[in-house]
Structure 1
Amino acid sequence: MEVEQLLSELQQDNITLFLAGQVFLVVFIALIADLVQKRLIERVRPRVERTPSLWDDALLFAVRPPLTALIWLAGISFAADIVGQHTGAAIFEAVAPLRAVGMISVITWALIRFIQGVEANILRWKGDEYDPTTVEAVGKLLRISVVITGVLMALQTLGFSISGVLAFGGVGGIAVGFAAKDMLANFFGGLMLYLDRPFAIGDWVRSPDRNIEGTVETIGWRLTVIRTFDKRPLYVPNSTFSNIAVENPSRMHNRRIFETVGIRYDDAGKMADIVADVRRMLEEHPEIDTGQTLIVNFNGFAPSSLDFFVYTFTKTTQWTKYHEVKQDVLLKIVTIIESHGAQIAFPTSTVHVPEGLAFRGEEGAQAKVGGRSTLERV
């Protein structure tokens, strides 16, 4: 009996050693495979970076961490299978479904990274050809689709009925829709911003209906962040943009100069020449777009001046340069008026004194009574 017991213990020890060896071998193979794939990726990466294609860079970026996770997931799960086959423990029965869920998670992770890599490459290298807002919107939609698909596949792998989950989601969606109608309104408002594209990130926008004006920083699914000109962040729910008018000055083709200039009534005879010279100056100005409307005309008798107006457009749309051009135009108008011996009018009042009246004052100066000039018949 003692011999049989000793042989049984020796056999058990041999089985344990054999099991440990198998587990060690699987883990060792996983380690070697991980080192090999890292070395291969490091050798391939310089060649991939030199190619003009955007897809291979994104693919290499996508597979690096998920591939390591996939190798170790496979190694550890197979080692657990070996242990489970020899021990028969019930806990190891969950290894297979967990491995399947892990595989789905790793593939989902890799696809999300691939979409992020393609999006980043397009914005970095093709930013002039594609609208950044559209690229980001498409990337978000694709990532959401991948996540939803991965979750449904994982649930099916764990034994849940997808049809039941979808039915429950439909019924629950109605309740959630009533409870979170504002959130859904913001979501669909953001979707319409991505589709209609009234503005993009970096645009200067303003609304005549609301006190909204600034530079767009972020267009999210729930709200849009606008940086006002005093550098404060303004958070606007996306549903707001479906109910207001939005002006986008960043997409102007030109900026307008519209000014009215008045000269004295004494210079009425010089008006025609002044208007002609101002029009000629604008037509020859290098920063004025002569392909747009250009008007310089005498248009009114003001109380203290004869007015002509200037209506023209600059080539630049940049705010600071526009004001430099406008300043140059106005100074040249002043020079033209002075070159004709005329003067720019300012508010004045003329008093006509009838015959027979004269000012009386001490030693020829006008007399003041209570701060007012007095007239006396002579």
Structure 2
Amino acid sequence: MDAVLAFLHLSTLTDLYRLLITLGVILIGAVVLNTVLQKFLRTLTSKLADRNLPWPSIVTWGISKPLSILVLLYAVYSMLLALPVELIGKSVLANVSTVVDVLVAAVICWASFRIIERAKIVFKDHGTADMTTVLAISRLLQTLIIIFFALNIMQKVGFNIQSILAVGGIGGVALGFASKDLLANFFGGLMIYLDRPFSEGDWIRSPDRQIEGTVERIGWRLTMIRTFDKRPLYVPNSVFANISVENPSRMLNRRIYETIGVRYDDGRVVKAIVDDVRQMLQQHNDIEQNATMIVNLVSFGASSLNFFIYTFTKTTNWIEFHHIKEDVMLKIMDIIEQHGAEIAFPTTTVLFGEGGEPLTNEVVSIEPDGSASSN
């Protein structure tokens, strides 16, 4: 026992008992405090979520686990302070204080990251904001938190922050010249987040470049696009500042634009066919009635009377669109057949003389659209 007292720099057993009691009280107090805090935060988070108060519930959820770490951290620190100074040493105790400050800053940084990640999940589940904007803001906030945390740690361990910032400013200029392409991509990504010409999940294409596919990820330097043959395409963000981008995912409707030709022999029923096709489109459940709809006879072809349909579907889904277009085309065929008419097809006219020989060496083929080709 005397050896223990000597090791702990204590003079009597009373001092030893007092030390053990102090350490026990700190430990038990930390456990009780942590249990009460966690139960309170869980209950508060649940009630705030039930009352449709997302932000307070996000904050309480984000700080719950970091708060446990802080309680444990301060409990350990208090226990170290309760020990005799001679046992630890003043210099070590001063270093422990610095370590605790660094750990506290790290826990606060962790809590901030948890709040941001939780906010992203809430926004995604509720669909209350554009996810591209949410991701941009969250990444920017996380970057700022890391920078602030790093500067705070440097200051606590004794670095001169002003000198670091001054050197960083000079180095930043040199680095800017050396990495102008990287900066161009960064600001290109920033413009994508701000202007939002497309979002993750959109189908985009560019008439200026061979770029077409579904956007899977918008990074600060690169945008990943999955082409329709399932290959990944990585496009530097600076490219989007110099090209035009079409975003079919944001179209309101899809267009049906077709020209149909009937025989000249059916000229007497063309007006009735056109009127019935127009009426069919006006009564079709999948055709957008508030968009432009045109059904008219438009031209006299070499072997057909041509009318065209110009209308829009309600859906923008590619597969559904083709089902609707197929249904419309089949109904047009039925209408033409009901009037005793036929769809024109390519015809070939060969002229023979009295002896049966062709009057020309050329065979003229007339296409339904009125064009002619010679063979």
TM-score by length of 2: 0.84
- Look up the match of 1:119: 120
- Look up the match of 2:177: 178
Amino acid in structure 1 at the alignment position of 2:102? V
- Look up the match of 1:68: 68
Partner SS state of residue 244, structure 1? coil
Amino acid in structure 1 at the alignment position of 2:95? A
Aligned counterparts of 2:56 and 2:282: Cα–Cα separation in 1: 53
- Look up the match of 2:164: 165
1:268 offset after TM fit, Å?
Answer: 2.5
Q: Is the 8 A contact 1:205 1:248 kept in 2?
A: yes
Query: For residues 117-266 of structure 1, what are the structure 2 equivalents within 5 Å?
Result: 117-125=118-126, 127=127, 129-266=128-265
**Aligned CA distance change for structure 1 residues 296 and 14 (closer, same or farther; 3 Å):** closer
Provide Cα deviations, 1:121-174, integer angstroms capped at 9, x if missing partner.
Answer: 12212x1x3111111111111222222222222222222222212111111111
**Aligned CA distance change for structure 1 residues 79 and 32 (closer, same or farther; 3 Å):** closer
Aligned residues: percent identity? 47
Query: For residues 325-344 of structure 1, what are the structure 2 equivalents within 5 Å?
Result: 325-344=324-343
- Look up the match of 2:99: 98
- Look up the match of 1:12: 6
Alignment partner of 1:49 is 2:46: yes
Aligned counterparts of 2:345 and 2:28: Cα–Cα separation in 1: 89
Q: Is the 8 A contact 2:22 2:82 kept in 1?
A: no
Q: Is the 8 A contact 1:26 1:75 kept in 2?
A: no
Amino acid in structure 2 at the alignment position of 1:328? D
Q: Is the 8 A contact 2:23 2:82 kept in 1?
A: no
Partner SS state of residue 349, structure 2? coil
Q: Is the 8 A contact 2:185 2:237 kept in 1?
A: yes
Q: Is the 8 A contact 2:19 2:83 kept in 1?
A: no
Aligned counterparts of 2:191 and 2:20: Cα–Cα separation in 1: 55
- Look up the match of 1:33: 30
- Look up the match of 2:371: none
Q: Is the 8 A contact 1:207 1:247 kept in 2?
A: yes
**Which runs of structure 1 show a deviation greater than 4 angstroms over 4 or more consecutive aligned residues?**
16-21, 81-84
Alignment partner of 1:290 is 2:328: no
- Look up the match of 1:376: none
Partner SS state of residue 349, structure 1? strand
**Aligned CA distance change for structure 1 residues 236 and 136 (closer, same or farther; 3 Å):** same
Q: Relative to structure 2, which stretch is displaced further, 77-86 or 15-24?
A: 15-24
Q: Is the 8 A contact 2:8 2:84 kept in 1?
A: no
Q: Give 5+ residue unaligned stretches, structure 1.
A: 1-6, 361-365, 367-378
TM-align CA RMSD: 2.7
**Aligned CA distance change for structure 1 residues 28 and 68 (closer, same or farther; 3 Å):** farther
Provide Cα deviations, 1:199-250, integer angstroms capped at 9, x if missing partner.
Answer: 1121111111222222222111121222222222222221121121111111
- Look up the match of 1:272: 271
Query: For residues 291-370 of structure 1, what are the structure 2 equivalents within 5 Å?
Result: 291-353=290-352, 357=354, 359=356
1:313 offset after TM fit, Å?
Answer: 0.8
Q: Is the 8 A contact 2:292 2:312 kept in 1?
A: yes
1:28 offset after TM fit, Å?
Answer: 6.0
**Aligned CA distance change for structure 1 residues 317 and 69 (closer, same or farther; 3 Å):** same
- Look up the match of 1:85: 85
Greater C-alpha Rg:
1
1:12 offset after TM fit, Å?
Answer: 3.1
Q: Is the 8 A contact 1:23 1:82 kept in 2?
A: no
Partner SS state of residue 235, structure 1? strand
Partner SS state of residue 311, structure 2? strand
Aligned counterparts of 1:40 and 1:19: Cα–Cα separation in 2: 31
Aligned counterparts of 1:343 and 1:138: Cα–Cα separation in 2: 61
Q: Give 5+ residue unaligned stretches, structure 2.
A: 359-375
Provide Cα deviations, 1:91-113, integer angstroms capped at 9, x if missing partner.
Answer: 43312222222222211211221
Partner SS state of residue 296, structure 1? strand
Partner SS state of residue 15, structure 1? coil
Partner SS state of residue 93, structure 2? helix
Amino acid in structure 2 at the alignment position of 1:209? D
